[in-house]
Every structure is written in structure tokens, then in C-alpha cells.
Chain A
Amino acid sequence: MIDAFLFIGLPYIALIVATIGCVRRARFSKFSMSARSSQFLEDRQLLWGSAPWHIGIMGVLAGHGIALLLPQVWSYILTVPPAMYLIETVGVACSLLALAGLSTLIYRRLTSARIQAVTTTSDLLVVALLFLQVLVGLLSAVSFRYGSAWSTATVVPYFWSLLALQPDMSYVSGFPMLFKLHLIGGWLFVLLLPFTRLIHILAVPFQYLWRAPQLVIWNTTRRRKQALAASIRAESRREFIKGAAGVTGATGLLALGVSSKAINFFKGASQDPEAESALLEKKLQRLKLTAEERSYELERQRNTMILVAGYAELDAVKGKYFIDYAMAPGLAFKGKDGMPIVISAKCTHLGCTVSSTLDENGRIMCPCHISYFDILTGMPNPGAPAKAPLPQIAWALVDAGGKVLASNTPGQASGKVAAPEALAQSSLYITKPGKTAA
């Protein structure tokens, strides 16, 4: 419940309030839109505070922004290991820079009498929250390694599910506390944007890049019109021609690109048959995958038992992957006593799929952050990033006649146990949680 508020309610409240608030402030309270610089009152410490803080935080935000807005590009870059190491290093360096700058700024704000004369309660709140937010962000980046990679697969879809008005907090509800705090903090800053000095983020003067150096405003309507005519005649003719040439050039290039497509369209010409069939095949493949997934879902809704594998297929070292009732991966092994061991393969740390091969200590490993899980107990090794054990999954061994030979429901005592020779012909099923094998 509280999670639903923090990860669905809060974001929507923040986004709505921020949108309305920022528009209101920009339209009706223009005078209050200012960076409220205090360089005039104190400029030595400011240099060592403001510059590193802004450069650092812009670096960090740029990373967040690219990941959120261009996840495909981002994850493509991350597939190149050196690029990922570089991004992680730059990210940590930037947040350290930002923290150092912010510490200087906080120290300056608390110690300089002149600065205190222009400090409001909201300024103090903002700097304190900023400090915590960056600190929590940095700590989660350091304690859960390769955040640039795993967050792209979790936070980004969560973010887009919010934007698409189909909020899905399952991506993030399993997160560790530290990272949840960072997420909540992020929404909090969206909420604070229109009410604090943070509004200056929206005042970045991009138009300065292309505006003419001199600005003349005419007050009387008559002269304003005349001035416009005169300025087109004389002063800005050159600029106008330059602009027009640019627009014409760009339009030309665009037209060139569009025209080839357009010609193809009208000619009705097809691509070459090979490419076309390849495309068709790809589409079919995608449809098949979707159908398969849907059929799994349907199967899991209808059936109380799902076939995993024949008993003979189970192996003591190499686990057999299957999909459990929660549509998450699971693993089945043959135990020393000949009974199956069925365990979830979704890492309890950040949800990666655990590898299927047992090591010499009888453990399976999560490749994302190197947690080792004992398959008998599900427990992770001490000091692993994952803290919770992998849950056991209810199973049943059923022979060809549909008779349950053996079953196991986690948390309950084992069911019937059959003789080994009978087992050889049986098959392993998982059973629906809450329902015992019939």
C-alpha cells in the first residue's frame, strides 16, 4: 500500500503539481524566476562550490537523462565493457564532484553572515535534500555495482510505464531500501521544482546561442510595424538570407530523402524478395514468441500442475530451466537422494536469472553481482549482494497413469515417497501455490 503511494501516487502527484506549478510561476510570477545568485555577496567560496556542484550534477543528470529517454542507445553502449566501466567511473566521479561542491556551498551558506541575509528556509531544505539525494544515489551506485546496466532494465521501464499511464511498480518494488529512497527523492525534487529556487533549472538561456547581439523594442504599435518592415529591409536582410538559405538547404536534403521513398510508394515497387521474406520471417518469429508467452500464461491460469521435464532428464549438476507460476525462471535438479530439487532462479537481489550449473560446493551463482546460493536451502553466501534466500517451489512427480508418486510443498512436510524404479518413468511437475498435488 505504502509502496503503491510512493511509486505510483507520488510520481503522478509530483508530475501534475510540477507541470501546473511551473506554468503558473512562469506566467504569473515572472519576477520570481531567478537563479538568485549570491556571488555578489561572497565569491571566493562560491567558485569552489558552485562550479564543481553544477558540473558534477549536470554530468550525473545527463547519464540519468540518456538512460531514461534513450534506453536503447544507452543499453547498446553498455554492451561494450570498456564503455560501461567508463560510464560507471565518470558517474561516480561526477557525483563525488557534486558532493564536494555542495558541501562547500552548505558550509558557505551556514557560516557567511552576508549569505545568511539572503537565505530562506526553503533554500536550506533544498540544499539538505540535494545533499541526501546525491549521497544516497552515490551509495546505491557503489553498493549495487553496474547500476547503469541493471537500472536500465528496471527503472527505465518503470518510468515509461508511468508516462504511458500504465503504472507498473513491480519493476522497482523489489528494490533495496537505499535505492527506493533515491527514487522517492527524485520524485520529491520534481514536486519541489515550482516552489523553490530549483526553478532556475528551467531558465537555462538556450535562446542566447542564436539571438542577434542587439535587441531593440518599439513601444508604439505604429512604429513597431514600421520597424519590423525597416529591419527586414535593411539590418537583418543578410541574416534573413542566411536563414532562408539554411532552411532551403535543409528542406532540399529532406525532400531528397523523402522523394526516394515517395517514388517507391507510387511506383508500387517492392523491396527485393529476399529482404521481404526475411522481414516477414522476423515478424512471424516475434508473433510466435508472443503467442508462446501468452500460452504459458494461459496454461498457468488453467492448470494446477505444469510439466517441467521427465524424471530422466533431470541432472545433479546441470539444472533444467523452466518457467514457474509467477512467470519467473526456475531450476530443477536431481538431488542426492534421487528426489528433485526445485528452486526459483530469480535472484533475490535485483532479479537476474541465476546460472544453471552447480559449482563444487553445491551452489548456483547469479552472474550479475556474484551471489552464490545453496540449492538445498536457497541461502546466499555470507557477504553476497543478495540477502534473501531463493524460494523453493512446490513440485510433484507423476507417473504415466497420472498417479502422484512423490510431492513436496515448501514449508510443509514431504509428501509420498516412491521407489526409485517407479520414478524412472515418471515426470516432474510444479504445482500451483496454495494447491497441494492431488
Chain B
Amino acid sequence: MDVRAHVSVIFHLDKCIGCHTCSVACKNVWTDRPGAEYMWWNNVETKPGTGYPTRWEDQQKFNGGWQWDGAGKLRTRCQSKADSYLKLFYNPNQPNLDDYYEPFTYKYDDLFTAKLSDDQPTAVPISLITGEPIEIKSGPNWDDDLSGSPIYAENDLNLDKLTEEERNQLFEVERLTMFYLPRICNHCANPTCVAGCPSGAIYKRGEDGIVLINQEKCRGWRACVAACPYKKIYYNWKTGKSEKCVLCFPRLETGQPPACFHSCVGRIRYMGVMLYDADRVPDAMKVPDRALVESQRMAFLDPNDPQVIAAARKNGISEEFLDSAKNSPAWKYIMEWKLALPLHIEYRTMPMLFYVPPLLPVMGKSSNGTYNHDAKDFFTSLDQSRLPLKYLASLFSAGNVDIIEAVMRKLMAVRYFKRWQSVRDMDENDVNKILREARTTPEEVEQIYAMTAIPTHFQRFVLPPLQREEAIESSCSPEACKGCTGFSLEPTFHPRA
């Protein structure tokens, strides 16, 4: 058992309102630079929709992630070691600018310098690359809220799993539904970008699992852009280096959650430590698609198990880290309640970002103008749900509908129970039946409710002290480093109030 700690992330999609505040916070902190304008380390997609870059889920085209032929090793889909050298000159799997969008601004100066005339002056859009006037044809969230649109939503790859009838129903005006999918780098446990980097510039930090690109070692071969199935590595066209989400590690190291987490209006984001067995990582993803979610769960270790704690101590994981692992909201969502699921686990990278799938678009099917719920069989709406579970399964459980259904039942049970508590419009026996069928208990429901609806800042973000002072020590004296790192060593935020 090789116990490692990982700073893991939960996004609760039922709470996401699609306001893009996270994206803007990230843009302002990290990517407001020449060459990085088009990068959205954090972006929010409307589902069903095509995402950013357009149709990034299409691995027939982009060839990201790992491939497993049922036996033997996992192989990077984008390249073998031999042909990776030919792909240095031209990488057929790399998305180009048009798969994203041409970054633009407006010629605001024209508003002030225009000569007096009868017409209102206008600020024409210009490209941030060439400086020439352009016609804006796409943007980072171009299909925002356009569910049901034949140009955008219909091209969502996850709809391929649905039958023709289900697809058609989804695009009837009365049944239109959507939800938001915020995406950052998944900081995978078995990342393809690291495996694909010819220069060895991408690495996983041992202490917290953050995946980073060493800008001094990166030689701009762009293999990582192709290798990452989530297209969360971006090529800086100006510096000739690749860049990605750094999970705001300088903020984490001073006890603050990342900028996108901190600014989240819907408070959908949670962060906590997960302990996992690094020995299981190489083989965990060598199982059929249906079993992937469960196989990833098997790699996680219980932070309350004395054996695990002993092994973790032996591996140099500090007491503070172990403490935060015990209080981790991630552990609760992923392992205790089994509500949070990884995005597209079939890419086999073991993403360490988990989503609580959205219930609202599923439940909200109406007939004759009223929401349908049948007191005799409370979960029938799942079978005839507005958004077919198959669609969610394609996103969050590699097509395994049973897993999605279990999550949905539990989420519904929480709602039925809390409604019954305050409204008392149901028979107590019925409520208990619902809880039984959802395989939960009133205690668990209360916990889920508390963590979902009314958590405090420090319940959502249980950040371990990352011992920045020690990290600096390894390369230079902390006193000498103070100036050059740009961040004060004094904690500006106390981790636990």
C-alpha cells in the first residue's frame, strides 16, 4: 500500500446557476495575458451542448485519453512512443484556433476619437492576435443556454447514446432542459498529459496531486494538448509553451481556496483531501467501462482506518493532512454517500474532480401542467425523466445507468424527506419507504442536506496546510525566497475557524 494524499474537488451541479463568475475570476488571475486570451482554465458549459473547445468529447477526432483493448497495458490514444517523434512536426490530434475561437476585443478608442457626425460612433471588434477587424463567429461559451438548438445542442456527443425517439423528445420545446457543467483541470491520478509529454515537463506534485507544467522544461511539442481528453491544456501561441489550470496552488499554499472556488456564487464547489493507494492506480483503469466508477472508488482509502493511517504516516503524510482527510467533504460525497461521480471516466485518466449530477432537469417532467409524482411509486419519474438517465450516464458513469439511478434516488430521497419534515404532506411510512429504496437513512439525509444546502466556507473547503515553508526550503532559504516568490509566508487566511 503506497498511500498518497490528493487535493480533490467536488462540483455540485444542482447548485450551479451558470453565471460564469468562476471563469471570470480565473481569467483575471491567470490568463489575462497575450497568448493566453483564448484560454479558459475554468469554463462553464451548457449541457446538452458542444462545450469548449467545440466537441472536445469527440475522441475519434482529438484522440485524447487512454485506450484499453481488454488486456495488457493502457495506451495513450494520441500517440505511441515511436510515432510521437513524427508528431513533433505536425500533430494531427491538436485542436487549432478555430476549434476554440479567435480572441477579440473592441476598438474602444474609436468611441472617443470619432469625429462629430450624425451617427453614433461604434467600437468594432478586432482580433487579439492579428489586431485586424474581425467578424466574431464564436466564443468560449457560444452555445450558452442554447439547449435544444439544432446547431449546438444537437451536436452533443452524449446524445448519441439515446434512441431516436428520446432525442426528438429532448428537442421538443415543452421538454427542453439543460444544466451547467463547470470544468477545470481534473488533476487526474493517471494523467495522459503527463504520459504524453515528450519533454517530461508535466508532473504531478507528490504532496497534493496537483498537475503542473514546468514552463522552463516545456519545449512546446504540444503532445499534452492532444493527449488530454478534457482539452484542459492550452497552447500559448505567443510564448510557445503549454499552460493549464494550476489549481491556484499559491493560494492553496497560503490556506485559501482557488479563485474559482472562492468566487463561486452558487457555492457549488467543495475541496478536500482524498487518500488513495498509488499502487492500485496502474491497474485500476484496466476494467470494462461499466466497472470503471467502482474500480476508481476501490483505489481510495478510508482516512479513519487505523491501518491506512499507519501506512500514511510511514509514507510521510503529515498529521495535519490526515486530519483534513478525515473532515474532507470530498470523502463524504465520493465514498460515504456515493453521490459524486467523475466526468467521462471512460477516458481512464482517473479524474480527481467529481460531480454531483443534477437532479432538477431529470425530475422536472410535467404532465398536464403539474409536476408528476406518484405517491405509490416515487421513482417512476426516473424512468420517464425529462433528461434521460442514459445521457447523464454517458457523462458521469461511462454509460452505467444503474450508478446514476442510485445517485438520483438518493438525491430525490433527500428532497422528499426534507419536504416531509417541514410540509408534512406525506405519510411517514411512505417517507421511510423512499429512504429504504434510496438506501439511505434519516441521519445520512440530514448530513447530505447540511453539506449541500447550508455549509460554511470552512466546511466546503477543508484545505490541508501545504507546508509551503518546507517546499521553499528545498530550493533556497525561505527568507531569501520571500521576495522572489511574490507571496508572503504569513498565512493570510487561517485554515480552520
A217 touching B204, Cβ below 8 Å: yes
A234 at interface, CB cutoff 8 A: yes
Q: Which of A26-34, A130-138, A398-406, A424-432 contacts B (4 or more CB under 8 A)?
A: A26-34
Q: Which of A166-174, A185-193, A221-229, A371-379 contacts B (4 or more CB under 8 A)?
A: A221-229
Q: Which residues of B contact A33 (CB under 8 A)?
A: 216, 219
Name A198-223 residues within 8 Å CB distance of B: 200, 203-205, 207-209, 211, 213-223
B89 touching A54, Cβ below 8 Å: yes
A211 touching B2, Cβ below 8 Å: no
Per-residue CB contact flags for chain A residues 43-74 toward chain B (1 = under 8 Å, else 0) read: 10011001101110000000000000000000
Give the one of A37, A41, A209, A224 with max B CB within 10 A. Answer: A37
B199 touching A222, Cβ below 8 Å: no
Q: Which residues of B contact A218 (CB under 8 A)?
A: 205-207
B2 touching A220, Cβ below 8 Å: no
Given A46-B90, A220-B471, A118:B237 Cβ within 8 A: yes
A35 touching B206, Cβ below 8 Å: no
Taking the nearest CB of chain B, how far is it from the CB of A213, in angstroms?
A: 4
B218 touching A40, Cβ below 8 Å: no
- How many Å lie between the Cα of A222 and that of B88 in the bound state? 37
B300 at interface, CB cutoff 8 A: no
Name B187-246 residues within 8 Å CB distance of A: 190-191, 194-195, 197-200, 202-207, 215-222, 235, 237-241
A116 at interface, CB cutoff 8 A: yes
A219 touching B205, Cβ below 8 Å: yes
- How many Å lie between the Cα of A34 and that of B215 in the bound state? 10
B217 touching A30, Cβ below 8 Å: yes
A250 at interface, CB cutoff 8 A: no
B81 touching A209, Cβ below 8 Å: yes
Name B72-90 residues within 8 Å CB distance of A: 81, 84, 86, 88-90
B323 at interface, CB cutoff 8 A: no
A287 at interface, CB cutoff 8 A: no
Taking the nearest CB of chain A, how far is it from the CB of B6, in angstroms?
A: 11
B240 touching A34, Cβ below 8 Å: yes
A43 touching B90, Cβ below 8 Å: yes
B202 touching A215, Cβ below 8 Å: yes
**Range of interface residues on A (Cβ < 8 Å):** 35 or more
Q: Which of B96, B200, B219, B471 is close to A43, meaning CB atoms less than 8 Å apart?
A: B96
- How many Å lie between the Cα of A436 and that of B209 in the bound state? 90
SS class of chain B's interface: helix, strand, loop or mixed?
A: loop
- How many Å lie between the Cα of A215 and that of B191 in the bound state? 10
B132 at interface, CB cutoff 8 A: yes
Per-residue CB contact flags for chain B residues 368-408 toward chain A (1 = under 8 Å, else 0) read: 00000000000000000000000000000000000000000
- How many Å lie between the Cα of A142 and that of B97 in the bound state? 42
- How many Å lie between the Cα of A40 and that of B233 in the bound state? 13
Q: Which residues of A contact B88 (CB under 8 A)?
A: 35, 54, 204-205
B241 touching A220, Cβ below 8 Å: no
Q: Which residues of A contact B279 (CB under 8 A)?
A: 234-235
Give the one of A46, A117, A222 with max B CB within 10 A. Answer: A117
B219 touching A223, Cβ below 8 Å: no
Q: Which of A39, A213, A220, A222 is close to B96, meaning CB atoms less than 8 Å apart?
A: A39
A117 touching B205, Cβ below 8 Å: no
- How many Å lie between the Cα of A204 and that of B221 in the bound state? 10
A227 touching B91, Cβ below 8 Å: no
- How many Å lie between the Cα of A387 and that of B105 in the bound state? 64
B220 touching A31, Cβ below 8 Å: no
Q: Which of A118, A204, A219 is close to B207, meaning CB atoms less than 8 Å apart?
A: A219
Name B11-62 residues within 8 Å CB distance of A: none
B168 at interface, CB cutoff 8 A: no
Q: Which residue of B lies closest to A197 (CB)?
A: B240
A36 at interface, CB cutoff 8 A: yes
Q: Which residues of A contact B203 (CB under 8 A)?
A: 215-217
Given A41-B129, A215-B194, A217-B206, A35:B81 Cβ within 8 A: no
B470 touching A39, Cβ below 8 Å: no
A247 at interface, CB cutoff 8 A: no
Taking the nearest CB of chain B, how far is it from the CB of A428, in angstroms?
A: 64
A213 touching B194, Cβ below 8 Å: yes
A34 touching B96, Cβ below 8 Å: no
Give the one of B203, B215, B240, B279 with max A CB within 10 A. Answer: B240
Q: Which of B97, B202, B206, B219 is close to A40, meaning CB atoms less than 8 Å apart?
A: B97
Name B238-273 residues within 8 Å CB distance of A: 238-241
A35 touching B240, Cβ below 8 Å: yes
B204 touching A216, Cβ below 8 Å: yes
B239 touching A223, Cβ below 8 Å: no
Q: Which of A41, A113, A208 is close to B237, meaning CB atoms less than 8 Å apart?
A: A41
A230 at interface, CB cutoff 8 A: yes
Given A51-B90, A114-B130, A235-B2, A215:B222 Cβ within 8 A: no
Q: Which residues of A contact B366 (CB under 8 A)?
A: none
B206 touching A221, Cβ below 8 Å: no
A42 at interface, CB cutoff 8 A: yes
A38 at interface, CB cutoff 8 A: yes
Taking the nearest CB of chain A, how far is it from the CB of B251, in angstroms?
A: 16
Taking the nearest CB of chain B, how far is it from the CB of A130, in angstroms?
A: 15
Give the one of A39, A50, A203, A211 with max B CB within 10 A. Answer: A39
B216 touching A41, Cβ below 8 Å: no
Name A139-198 residues within 8 Å CB distance of B: none
Q: Which of B81, B131, B200, B316 is close to A215, meaning CB atoms less than 8 Å apart?
A: B200
Q: Which of B130, B200, B235, B470 is close to A205, meaning CB atoms less than 8 Å apart?
A: B200
B328 at interface, CB cutoff 8 A: no
- How many Å lie between the Cα of A114 and that of B134 in the bound state? 12
B474 touching A220, Cβ below 8 Å: yes
A31 touching B206, Cβ below 8 Å: no
Taking the nearest CB of chain B, how far is it from the CB of A199, in angstroms?
A: 10
- How many Å lie between the Cα of A53 and that of B88 in the bound state? 13
- How many Å lie between the Cα of A124 and that of B215 in the bound state? 26
B470 touching A221, Cβ below 8 Å: yes
Given A114-B130, A208-B84, A37:B220 Cβ within 8 A: yes
B473 at interface, CB cutoff 8 A: yes
A219 touching B471, Cβ below 8 Å: yes
Q: Which residue of B lies closest to A36 (CB)?
A: B240
Taking the nearest CB of chain A, how far is it from the CB of B187, in angstroms?
A: 13
Q: Which residues of B contact A46 (CB under 8 A)?
A: 90
Given A40-B235, A203-B219, A219:B474 Cβ within 8 A: yes
Taking the nearest CB of chain A, how far is it from the CB of B196, in angstroms?
A: 9
- How many Å lie between the Cα of A194 and that of B91 in the bound state? 26
- How many Å lie between the Cα of A226 and that of B92 in the bound state? 41
B94 at interface, CB cutoff 8 A: yes
- How many Å lie between the Cα of A203 and that of B237 in the bound state? 18
- How many Å lie between the Cα of A39 and that of B220 in the bound state? 11
Name B266-295 residues within 8 Å CB distance of A: 278-279, 281
Q: Which residues of B contact A30 (CB under 8 A)?
A: 216-217
Q: Which of A37, A43, A117 is close to B240, meaning CB atoms less than 8 Å apart?
A: A37
B307 at interface, CB cutoff 8 A: no
B421 at interface, CB cutoff 8 A: no
Q: Which residue of B lies closest to A219 (CB)?
A: B471
Taking the nearest CB of chain B, how far is it from the CB of A215, in angstroms?
A: 4
Given A43-B96, A234-B279, A113:B89 Cβ within 8 A: no
Q: Which residues of A contact B202 (CB under 8 A)?
A: 215
Given A203-B199, A220-B473, A222-B316, A42:B206 Cβ within 8 A: no
Q: Which residue of B lies closest to A221 (CB)?
A: B474
Beyond A113-B130, A215-B194, A222-B470, 19 additional contacts (C-beta under 8 Å) are A31-B215, A34-B220, A38-B237, A39-B96, A40-B96, A40-B222, A41-B96, A41-B237, A50-B89, A51-B86, A53-B89, A114-B97, A203-B219, A209-B81, A219-B470, A220-B474, A222-B316, A226-B316, A227-B206
Shortest 6 CB-CB contacts between residues of A and residues of B: A205-B198, A34-B240, A30-B216, A218-B206, A36-B240, A219-B471
9 A–B contacts from the bound complex (CB under 8 Å): A33-B216, A33-B219, A36-B220, A41-B129, A113-B132, A208-B197, A220-B473, A223-B316, A235-B2
Q: B: which residues have CB within 8 A of A?
A: 2, 81, 84, 86, 88-92, 94, 96-97, 129-132, 190-191, 194-195, 197-200, 202-207, 215-222, 235, 237-241, 278-279, 281, 315-316, 467, 470-471, 473-474
